[in-house]
Amino acid sequence: MPSPAPDEALLRVQGTGICGSDMVGFLGLSPRRQPGLVLGHETVATVERMPISAPTGGGEWPFHEGQRVVLNPFIPCGKCEACRAGRINVCTHWRLIGMDSIDGTFAEWAKAPAANLFPVPDSLSDERAVMIEPLANGVHLFSLIRQHNFGTLAIFGAGTQGCLLLSVARLLGYRDIAMVDVNPARLNVAKELGAKILIDARETDPVTAIRDSFGGKGADIVIEAYGDTVTRAACIQAARRGGEILLLGLHEVNSTVDFTTIVRHELRLQGSFVYTDADFARSKTLIESGDVDLSRWTRSLPLDQGQAAFDQLLTDPGSTMKIVLTA
C-alpha cells in the first residue's frame, strides 16, 4: 500500500493501458525504466483517500472521495523557464509516473499528485477513459503544425498513436491521408477510421507509394509515429519540397538522417513531446464526447495476465490497439 504525500491522493486503480513506452521498458531498452519499478501511467482510478493539503491556488479539489478520475502522469517542475512560459511539456526537470523512481499504476493501489487528477463521468468506460492520456500527445502534435492547409498527410505507424493521430486529423478536416504499417489488421482499422490510402511496407516501398498517390510530389505533412531509423528515413523522402515532418515515435534513440535532403528540400523537422495542460483538457473533451473512440479495438485483461498481455502486443497484436490491465 503506497503512502501518499500531503498533496497526493490514494487511488484504487481500475484500469491502466499498456503504452509503447511501457513496451520499451518491458524489453529492457529504457535506461529510465529498470526492474524494481512499477510501470504504467495511462490510468483511470477511484479516489480512495483525499489529499491532506489544499490546492496551491486555494479553493477545493475538483474531485471527491469515491469519484472516478483519470491521471495526467506528466509532472513538470513548475519553476523553470519553460514552465513559467506555459510550455510545461519541455520542462527542464520533468518527471513521469511509471518512470525513474516514481512507481506507476500497474497495481491495485497507487498514489498521485492531486493536481494531476481529473474527474470523469461514470458513463465513460475504462477502455475509453485510459485513451485520454495517449490522445493528448496527438492533440499537442497537431498544434505544432505551422499552417493547416488540410492538404495531403502521411502517417508512419498504424498503432495506437498512429490511429489516434488519424482520428484527430479527420476531425480537423484532413481527408487525403495515407497510413503506413506492416500489420494488415491495423491497416484495416485505419481504413475504418478514414485513411484513404493504405500501404503495407512489407509489400510496397512506402516512399514510392506515397509519392505516386499524391501526384509524384510527396505529402504536405508526414508524421512519424513509430520511431526507428527506417521509418524516420522514409519520412524525409516521402515529404514534398517545403513540407513538414513531425516526429513522435521514440523506439530508437539514434538514427542516421539525410540532412542534405532536409536542407535542399527546405523541410521542416519538428519534434513533439507529450502535451500541455490545455492539450490534456482538450483530449479529455474529445474522448468524453465520443469524437475519438478506439474502444472497438481495445481489450481488458486482469492485472495477473499482464505478462500475456505484453507478449501479445509484442508478438501478435492483430487489430488490438490497446490492452487495459484491470486491478
Class of domain 8-134+275-326: alpha beta
Residue pair 281/183 in contact (Cβ under 8 Å)? The answer is: no
- Tell me the mean pLDDT in the region 238-260: 94
How is residue 55 annotated by DSSP? Answer: P
What residue spans define the domains of the chain?
Answer: 8-134+275-326, 145-271
Relative to beta strand 322-326, strand 298-302 is parallel
pLDDT tens-place string over residues 96-131:
999 999 999 999 999 999 999 999 999 999 999 999
Other C-beta atoms lying within 10 Å of the C-beta of residue 305: 15
Q: Which of 286, 288, 296, 291 is nearest to 321 (CA)?
A: 296
Q: Give the number of other Cβ atoms within 10 Å of residue 32's Cβ.
A: 13
- Quote the cell numbers at residue 7: 498533496
What's the pLDDT band for 29 if we cut at 50, 70, 90? confident
Per-residue pLDDT at 253 exceeds 90:
no
Sole residue written with cell 475538483: 62
Q: In this structure, which CATH number among 3.40.50.300, 3.40.50.720, 3.40.50.920, 3.40.120.10 belongs to the domain 145-271?
A: 3.40.50.720
- Is the pLDDT confidence value at 251 over 90? no
- 152-156 and 74-75 strand pairing: unpaired
Using CA atoms, how far apart are residues 132 and 123, in angstroms rounded to an integer?
15
Query: Phi and psi dihedrals of 180, rounded to 5?
Result: -115, 135
pLDDT tens per residue, range 51-103: 999 998 889 999 999 999 999 999 999 999 999 999 999 999 999 999 999 99
> pLDDT per residue over 272-309, tens digit each?
999 999 999 999 999 999 999 999 999 999 999 999 99
- Distance, CA of 9 to CA of 190 (rounded, Å): 38
CB 240 within 8 A of CB 220: yes
CB 75 within 8 A of CB 96: yes
Give the model's pLDDT for residue 196. Answer: 98
Among candidate residues 209, 142, 198, 210, the one with its CA nearest the CA of residue 170: 142
Q: How far is CA 118 from CA 28, 43, 61, 73, 90, in A?
A: 32, 11, 9, 11, 22
Strands (E), the chain: 8-17, 42-49, 68-71, 74-75, 95-96, 109-113, 117-119, 152-156, 176-181, 197-200, 219-224, 239-247, 268-271, 298-302, 322-326
Q: What is the grid cell recorded at 148? A: 493547416
pLDDT at 147 over 90: no
The confidence score (pLDDT) of residue 259 equals 96
